[in-house]
Chain A
């Protein structure tokens, strides 16, 4: 991507930013994150359809953040993540510049996060057909079938926490699973420990997840854990109306409406 390389060089050269986070070619046909700190490294920057890793996970990483002001090559999901992170006070205009990549693969630079927000809000978060089909399939199952589905699917999980590490929203220094007084989530990756970890993960991402699938893509065991967060997103939409990450938005789960539905409460 010529524009991106050019812009990255300018930014580094002028010291406008200390590091540009983008993609480079990796092993085989893979791509991976590249951290450009010297102009000559900018030539390695690429962008194409293989570049699906959510780079926003790096803007809260200490060793990256400590370098100084960052610029990030951001696709739509990455931009959404950044807006959500900004609304949670993890990034701001002083430490992050967004080099947007439009769904048409055009470079678009933003003055500030407000502009990023405006851009992002032009697009709705949509669930793709394959996952929609899976969700429908699960919806049509009996409760017992769903229980079996999840116990089986989660069984191989060995709690490597790649899902957590790859998720831009899982930036907490101490995750609930790391909390051991009391030990809320069993540490071992047995059935119960896996079930509770994934339930907790889904709840903590409710209203915050922007559906980038980073968790699923990171899972070395291909466990469809993204279905959990997708379902939460759809249900939250149904109950509380559509949500988009917003800089000064009301957080879905830390606010309420007096008329939230309560037909299940006696």
Chain B
């Protein structure tokens, strides 16, 4: 059986982390190809429901990343996002959703290397955790997979 390849979805802001990931590219720093980036204007725009949707659809891990505090292009979107994450994480933890599968980070446009590190670390830790089968079971994920071969 092939080694488990985690599916990682990254929700990033346009101005810092997306640009940071661009810099990773420009700097030709290699990282695991398991991650797929979804671009948002700002972390403030990231709806917590989208994180759940990613798990619904079979993601094994999630990265949420934006500008460092005080560096937000929109001055305070990331502060608002952070407060939401605090409560969202707390609720996830309380309901038993695996918060170890959701990595939050600040990656600036200058931190190309940090982006590669974040991705690699997330892929490694999710690989360790294995497929998120508890959630997939509730989301009837495998059933969907096999129903039409």
Contact = CB atoms under 8 A, between A and B. Distances in A.
Nearest to A148: B96
A126 interface: no
Given A144-B96, A203-B48, A228-B94, A264 B89 contact: yes
B104 interface: yes
Interface stretch (A28-36, A87-95, A163-171, A251-259): A251-259
A146 B92 CA distance: 10
A265 B121 CA distance: 13
A232 interface: yes
Interface string A4-24: 000000000000000000000
The B interface, classified by DSSP as helix, strand, loop or mixed, is helix
The A interface, classified by DSSP as helix, strand, loop or mixed, is helix
B134 interface: yes
Interface of B: 48-49, 52-53, 56, 69-70, 76, 79-80, 82-99, 103-106, 118, 134, 138-140
18 contacts: A144-B96, A147-B96, A149-B96, A150-B95, A176-B49, A184-B53, A192-B139, A199-B95, A228-B95, A236-B87, A240-B83, A254-B80, A255-B83, A256-B83, A262-B82, A264-B85, A264-B89, A266-B106
Interface of A: 138, 143-151, 176, 184-185, 190-192, 195-196, 198-200, 202-203, 206-207, 228, 231-232, 235-236, 239-240, 253-258, 260-262, 264-266
